[in-house]
Structure 1
Amino acid sequence: MPANTAPWGQDRPTALLVLADGTVIEGRGLGAEGSAIGEVCFNTALTGYEEILTDPSYTGQIVTFTFPHIGNVGTNEEDIEDLTPAARAGAVGTIVKADITNPSNYRAAADLDQWLKRRGLVGLAGIDTRALTALIREKGMPNAVIAHAADGVFDVDDLKRRAADWPGLLGLDLAKDVTSGQSSTWTETPWVWDEGYGALGEPTMQIVAVDYGIKRNILRLLAGLGAEVTIVPATTPAEDILAMHPDGIFLSNGPGDPAAMSDYAVPVIRDLLKTDIPLFGICLGHQLLALAVGGKTTKMHQGHHGANHPVKDHTTGKVEIVSMNHGFAVDGDSLPAGVEETHVSLFDGSNCGIAITGKPVFSVQHHPEASPGPQDSHYLFRRFANLIRESKGEPALAER
């Protein structure tokens, strides 16, 4: 038996969350047995837990759901967001309030507990997630180890040491861990009720997407507007991208600290900006674009994670309800002349979008491919498509 094994009785907990400050939170284990280390964040979304847990942007994070009833619609093989399921990019662990119930949905193929096991995701249930959320709001997102053992036997000292020793996400480049290993082509179009996903017909534009941890639904929405998308790894040189003669370039979402990618991603973007090719970035792609034009990024106290965030588009005056997932943000005050702040969070005033004056280049911090509004932000994809169509002398699509 390991040293300092917890002396619980028959009803001892089967899962622990051990914070870097030594705090131990006891619960019931679910999903895969084992342990994982990461930064604990909370997500306020009421739905979409499968998409959240498979979003590569959550790599290195343990997701706490504030909504208590997670898992009630089960899981399927369609609602995943990581590009290569075998690589299992996404959250390293999850925390929920209530025990997972039998799924009740006509699309359910398995319950969440089974799905977590298959993905190797460690889970913990039965704790006061409101208290944990309040702790994160007060002290920031803590580093922690989440552990699940069916027999309730844990080496608590070792878990505390691992949590305390982990350096955290600041300065950590995770995009190289989740990016594609090689180039590929995407032609799947968005899901339609009672039909499923579609397929691109004759493409009207060619887009190169730089994969820092791209989500599938971004690719589907681009394909839905007529784009054949070539996905390239995060380290692809600018000359290789330009050699593909793209009509547009997309910078994807992804995990980790954008400043840690300054040695390879930022110089490539600077070279791409020397052209007049329309360019669109989302999330990490937005942050990298800001760095490329001379702005700065900062680590956030608690981050933005949820599907109910109000963001204002200064270019239209409209407010949209958006999905967010980021622990780093662009410092709006650091943006140089010639870079316009286009979007702002109505929660805390943080930057959520930029555009470069005189160039067909823009980006947003939030996730317009998600559908909390439900389609409040889909116009951004049409805006990108219209920049491409304008560059080709073609009539614009209605943004609506």
Structure 2
Amino acid sequence: MVLEDGRTFTGDAYGALGETVGEAVFCTGMTGYQETLTDPSYHRQVVVMTAPHIGNTGVNEQDMESRKIWVSGFVVRDPAIRPSNWRSQGDLGEALDQQGVVGISGVDTRALTRHLRDRGSMRVGVFSGEAAQGTPTELLNRVLEAPKMSGSALAAEVSTEAAYVVPAVGEKRFTVAALDLGIKGMTPALLSKRGVEVHVLPASSTFADLTAMNPDGVFFSNGPGDPATADAEVALLREVLGNSIPFFGICFGNQLLGRAVGLETYKLAFGHRGINQPVLDRLTNKVEVTSHNHGFALAWPTELSESITSDFGGVSVSHVALNDNVVEGLSLDDRPAFSVQYHPEAAAGPRDAEYLFDRFIDLMEAHSA
């Protein structure tokens, strides 16, 4: 394993043999590794798990958040010898191999995480089998040739190619048009559970596509890449806001709402990734433990307690990360729109933020009254 600053780690091949290059990031979740692996937001990233023992519960079809494993590579310290869980339908290492995901085990992930925390996320290559036969300089050059995450437009690479519908469970109450920028399966499932018929649309959809089913609300999902590249999606969101259609965005969707109201984005040193991130909901003054996966954030131009004015009226910071004061949510004062930077649909937990889907329901209900 070769980092772009030249630091090297050696270990055992885990998953597929070969070569992979991506952005090295660390995830602090002690559970939910299958949800992490199948989260499209991890596209083109090599994920380092900080929990030392990975794979004990195996893999199963129910915990898939999308159609495949999206991570570019996987780094663990101590892979399970065999899965041991009543829900297991297979071995994690074998699943990685079957999907061509190159990984490495036996790595000092604590030292690696400290390195990334101090130096910041960076490109990395994992090499095994014949691909590992090059000289250290040759391997490093392969890493340095890979594109950086900043400036990368990736949502279209993970989005659905064709629209599909997730029907409401029980009586249908609302229709929502959900823009798939890297959506996780649990999102439409939780909306559906609340009586919402969800039309999941490709990232390339137009305003006419979004409004074709006369939606009661619009949802923008999580997704990979640099939000500064998403000009078309921001223009689409500005049309949504201009027509006062109730809007809810998460993760990438939060960053796009920020851009739509005039905010800039920036790359965090090493991002927030894991299921143990404390966030303050400034509307209720309650602290939530939340699931995160983002390497970019919104730049707030003034004190977090102060609102700003946009083309769509006042904008306030609704949620704040308690570890580093990063903006974790926005609320528009004069339009039916809000967003959060984290994942209220976290299948692996925690459930603290699931109420945000109810807040979206309330918003649509109030708008239709």
TM-score bracket relative to the smaller structure: over 0.9
Letter in 2 for 1:68: P
Distance (whole Å) between structure 2 residues aligned to residue 283 and residue 119 of structure 1: 26
Distance (whole Å) between structure 2 residues aligned to residue 260 and residue 390 of structure 1: 33
Letter in 2 for 1:384: F
Identity of aligned pairs, percent?
Answer: 42
Counterpart position of 1:64: 48
| Partner deviation per Cα, 1:66-119 (whole Å, 9 max, x = no partner) | 10001011111111112x33xx4x211110011332111100011111111122
TM superposition shift of 1:371: 5.3
Q: 2:140 aligns with which of 142, 151, 160?
A: 160
TM superposition shift of 1:186: 1.5
The yes-or-no answer on 1:326 pairing with 2:298 is no
State whether residues 21 and 126 of structure 2, in contact with CA within 8 Å, keep that contact through their aligned partners in structure 1: yes
TM superposition shift of 1:348: 0.2
Task: Report the 3-state secondary structure (helix = DSSP H, G, I; strand = E; otherwise coil) of the residue aligned with 1:333.
Answer: coil
Cα distance change of structure 1 residues 134 and 205 upon mapping to structure 2, 3 Å threshold: same
Distance (whole Å) between structure 2 residues aligned to residue 240 and residue 210 of structure 1: 10
TM superposition shift of 1:156: 4.1
Distance (whole Å) between structure 2 residues aligned to residue 152 and residue 37 of structure 1: 13
State whether residues 19 and 164 of structure 1, in contact with CA within 8 Å, keep that contact through their aligned partners in structure 2: no
Q: 2:308 aligns with which of 319, 336, 343?
A: 336
Counterpart position of 1:269: 237
Distance (whole Å) between structure 1 residues aligned to residue 73 and residue 349 of structure 2: 27
Task: Report the 3-state secondary structure (helix = DSSP H, G, I; strand = E; otherwise coil) of the residue aligned with 1:26.
Answer: coil
State whether residues 95 and 123 of structure 1, in contact with CA within 8 Å, keep that contact through their aligned partners in structure 2: yes
Distance (whole Å) between structure 1 residues aligned to residue 207 and residue 90 of structure 2: 43
Letter in 1 for 2:203: A
Counterpart position of 2:149: 169
TM superposition shift of 1:333: 2.4
State whether residues 16 and 102 of structure 2, in contact with CA within 8 Å, keep that contact through their aligned partners in structure 1: yes
Counterpart position of 1:140: 120
1:39-58 aligned at under 5 Å gives the runs: 39-58=23-42
Counterpart position of 1:315: 283
TM superposition shift of 1:339: 0.6
| Dislocated runs of 4+, deviation >6 Å | none
Distance (whole Å) between structure 2 residues aligned to residue 385 and residue 64 of structure 1: 36
With the length of structure 2 as denominator, give the TM-score of the two structures: 0.94
The yes-or-no answer on 1:206 pairing with 2:141 is no
Mean CA deviation greater in 328-337 or 101-110: 328-337
With the length of structure 1 as denominator, give the TM-score of the two structures: 0.87
Task: Report the 3-state secondary structure (helix = DSSP H, G, I; strand = E; otherwise coil) of the residue aligned with 1:273.
Answer: helix
State whether residues 18 and 130 of structure 2, in contact with CA within 8 Å, keep that contact through their aligned partners in structure 1: no
TM superposition shift of 1:153: 3.7
State whether residues 27 and 47 of structure 2, in contact with CA within 8 Å, keep that contact through their aligned partners in structure 1: yes
Task: Report the 3-state secondary structure (helix = DSSP H, G, I; strand = E; otherwise coil) of the residue aligned with 1:158.
Answer: helix
| Partner deviation per Cα, 1:293-314 (whole Å, 9 max, x = no partner) | 1011100001000111000000
Distance (whole Å) between structure 1 residues aligned to residue 323 and residue 126 of structure 2: 30
Cα distance change of structure 1 residues 237 and 151 upon mapping to structure 2, 3 Å threshold: closer
State whether residues 275 and 350 of structure 2, in contact with CA within 8 Å, keep that contact through their aligned partners in structure 1: no
Letter in 2 for 1:177: E
Distance (whole Å) between structure 2 residues aligned to residue 386 and residue 236 of structure 1: 26
Cα distance change of structure 1 residues 216 and 373 upon mapping to structure 2, 3 Å threshold: closer
TM superposition shift of 1:372: 6.3
TM superposition shift of 1:135: 0.5
Structure 2's unaligned 5+ residue stretches are none
The yes-or-no answer on 1:111 pairing with 2:91 is yes
Counterpart position of 1:33: 17
- State the Cα RMSD in Å: 1.6
The yes-or-no answer on 1:93 pairing with 2:73 is yes
Task: Report the 3-state secondary structure (helix = DSSP H, G, I; strand = E; otherwise coil) of the residue aligned with 1:25.
Answer: coil
Task: Report the 3-state secondary structure (helix = DSSP H, G, I; strand = E; otherwise coil) of the residue aligned with 1:390.
Answer: helix
Distance (whole Å) between structure 2 residues aligned to residue 289 and residue 118 of structure 1: 38
State whether residues 44 and 305 of structure 1, in contact with CA within 8 Å, keep that contact through their aligned partners in structure 2: yes
1:287-302 aligned at under 5 Å gives the runs: 287-302=255-270
Q: 1:363 aligns with which of 333, 339, 348?
A: 339
